[in-house]
């Protein structure tokens, strides 16, 4: 249940910027290859925000899908899991999206 | 709640298992309350403004942990210390591997250990009995070590300059994968009794590792464990992964593990 730690880290990262302001919404980017489960994170977010300026804030999670780039044939392709194998047979593949774990923005006031 | 690990603030306990048998402990987390907040708009004339506004953050969720991990990494480097983050399921033989390594490899390079478990001092006591310095971190409800806990552990451990520090993570193939501790290398220990499907079931752990140690090879005749399949699956996730099968019990192939340690 590392989503609870992730949720607590979200609270810390937001409060550092918003201070005493009441936060009404939080927008996260949680890539599909990040290893974080959005449903579990939403559940943990409610717990982690209790008693803070984020309590009751709406949580929106953008879930970018996985994209990879093959360094051999230079093609870009979609990946659904962490098995990084290009159709050309190469495993020299770099993940270009899907691993994001970011706070994009918040609504305050 | 602790902002780093999500556990209750009083739950994480760092304990030195000392020669006297006295076990001092403390609670390691920093709790920066209300860091850097803005003050209220000071003007007296009240104006009706939009009810809410957006603040763009574009910040990494784990930025704080990553900063603390970077600090650990540079501190370790300044002392010439190599740190190895050991991750596995419970019962794969991490602590046994360390006990054996302390006996065989400790004379070449001093070893000390930060032990992470939810409860008990069992593992730190085993490491102490094997002849190395050890600090136990009890994470309470927490399922992994983080960079703040490791910082407190290092302060308490006082590892020898030029030595080797093992960070024995909480037994769990999921959560530890996401948290940088400031280590030099990441090692996953699995055992043949767990089955050969672990890499595909827990891909994040294997993607994030530098080396897999497959323990309990002495039991291969008694279990259906396909070493080739397991290795092949792990390399599909992580082509650069190194792979060392060993038996801590019989000592089989431990020399390969020690060669890997020598290269750190």
* Nearest beta carbon to residue A83 from set B58, B65, B236: B236
- Whose CA is closest to B96, among B244, B259, B231, B248? B248
Alpha carbon distance B128, B133 (integer Å): 6
**Residue pLDDT, tens place only, A89-105:** 998 899 999 999 999 99
Domains and CATH numbers, chain B: 63-262 (3.40.50.300)
Does A74 fall in a domain? Answer: no
Rg (C-alpha) for chain B, rounded Å, is: 21
Residue B36 at interface with chain A, using a CB cutoff of 8 Å: yes
Alpha carbon distance B188, B103 (integer Å): 21
Does A35 fall in a domain? Answer: yes
Alpha carbon distance B116, B249 (integer Å): 23
Instruction: Look at chain A and report how many structural domains it folds into.
Output: 1
Residue B158 CA from chain centroid, whole number: 17
A99 neighbors A79 (Cβ within 8 angstroms): no
| Angstroms from A5 CA to nearest CA on chain B | 4
Does residue B7 register a pLDDT over 80?
A: no
Task: Report B:186-215 residues touching A (Cβ under 8 A).
Answer: 200, 203-204, 207
Query: Which residue bears the tokens 């030195």?
Result: B16
What ipTM goes with this model? 0.90
**Residue pLDDT, tens place only, A68-92:** 999 999 999 999 999 888 999 998 8
Question: Which residues from A are below 8 Å from B237, CB to CB?
Answer: 82-84
B82 neighbors B165 (Cβ within 8 angstroms): yes
Does A55 fall in a domain? Answer: yes
Which pLDDT does position A71 carry in this prediction? 94
Residue A61 at interface with chain B, using a CB cutoff of 8 Å: no
CATH code for the domain in which residue A34 is found:
3.30.2320.50
B244 neighbors B256 (Cβ within 8 angstroms): yes
Does A75 fall in a domain? Answer: no
Does A80 fall in a domain? Answer: no
Per-residue tokens: B194? 């767990």
**Secondary structure of residue B50 in the 3-state scheme:** coil
In chain B, whose CA is at the least distance from the CA of A16? B35
Alpha carbon distance B67, B179 (integer Å): 11
Mean pLDDT of B112-132: 95
Question: Which residues from A are below 8 Å from B34, CB to CB?
Answer: 15, 19-20
Does A23 fall in a domain? Answer: yes
| Angstroms from B85 CA to nearest CA on chain A | 17
Task: Report B:231-250 residues touching A (Cβ under 8 A).
Answer: 235-237, 239
**Residue pLDDT, tens place only, B12-40:** 888 887 644 444 555 554 544 444 444 44
Does A85 fall in a domain? Answer: no
| Structural domain boundaries enclosing A20 | 3-65+97-108
Q: Could you give phi then psi for residue B176, rounded to 5 degrees?
A: -60, -20
Mean pLDDT of B207-236: 97
Mean pLDDT of A28-51: 96
The set of residues, in sequence order, having a beta carbon less than 8 Å from that of A33 and lying 6+ positions away, is A66, A79, A81, A82, A95, A98, A99
Alpha carbon distance B221, B228 (integer Å): 15
Alpha carbon distance B88, B92 (integer Å): 7
Of B23-37, B90-104, B213-227, where does mean pLDDT reach its minimum?
A: B23-37
Per-residue tokens: B100? 């054996």
Does A26 fall in a domain? Answer: yes
Question: Which residues from B are below 8 Å from A1, CB to CB?
Answer: 143, 175
> Residue B189's beta-bridge partner residues?
B88, B213
């Amino acid at each position: 249940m590392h989503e609870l730690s992730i949720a607590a880290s979200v609270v810390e990262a937001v409060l550092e910027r918003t201070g005493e302001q009441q936060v009404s919404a939080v927008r996260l980017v949680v890539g599909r290859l990040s290893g974080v489960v959005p449903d579990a994170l939403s559940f943990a977010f409610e717990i982690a925000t209790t008693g803070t300026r984020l309590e009751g804030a709406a949580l929106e999670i953008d879930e970018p899908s996985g994209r990879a780039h093959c360094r051999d044939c230079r093609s870009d392709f979609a990946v659904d899991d962490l098995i990084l194998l290009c159709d050309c047979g190469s495993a020299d593949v770099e993940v270009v999206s899907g691993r994001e774990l970011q706070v994009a923005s918040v609504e305050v006031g | 709640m602790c902002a780093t690990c999500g556990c209750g603030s009083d739950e994480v306990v760092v304990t030195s298992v000392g020669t006297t048998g006295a076990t001092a402990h403390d609670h390691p987390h920093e709790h920066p309350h209300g860091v850097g907040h803005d003050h209220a708009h000071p003007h007296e004339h009240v104006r009706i403004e939009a009810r809410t506004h957006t603040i763009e953050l574009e910040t990494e969720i784990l930025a704080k942990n990553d900063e603390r991990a970077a600090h650990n990494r540079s501190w370790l480097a300044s002392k010439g210390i190599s740190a190895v983050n050991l991750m596995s399921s419970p019962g794969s033989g991490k602590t046994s591997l360390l006990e054996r390594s302390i006996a065989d490899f400790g004379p070449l390079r001093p070893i000390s250990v930060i032990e992470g478990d939810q409860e008990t001092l069992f593992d730190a006591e085993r490491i102490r009995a094997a002849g190395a310095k050890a600090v136990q971190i009890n994470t309470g409800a927490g399922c992994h070590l983080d960079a703040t806990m490791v910082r407190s552990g290092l302060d308490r451990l006082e590892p020898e300059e030029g030595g080797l520090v093992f960070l024995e993570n909480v037994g769990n193939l999921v959560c530890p994968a996401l948290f940088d501790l400031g280590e030099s290398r990441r090692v996953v220990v699995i055992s043949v009794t767990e089955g050969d499907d672990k890499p595909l079931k827990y891909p994040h752990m294997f993607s994030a590792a530098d080396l897999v140690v497959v323990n309990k090879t002495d039991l291969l005749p008694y279990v259906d464990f396909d070493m080739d399949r397991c290795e092949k699956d792990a390399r599909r996730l992580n082509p650069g992964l190194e792979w060392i099968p060993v038996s801590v019990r019989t000592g089989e192939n431990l020399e390969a593990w020690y060669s890997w340690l020598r290269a750190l």
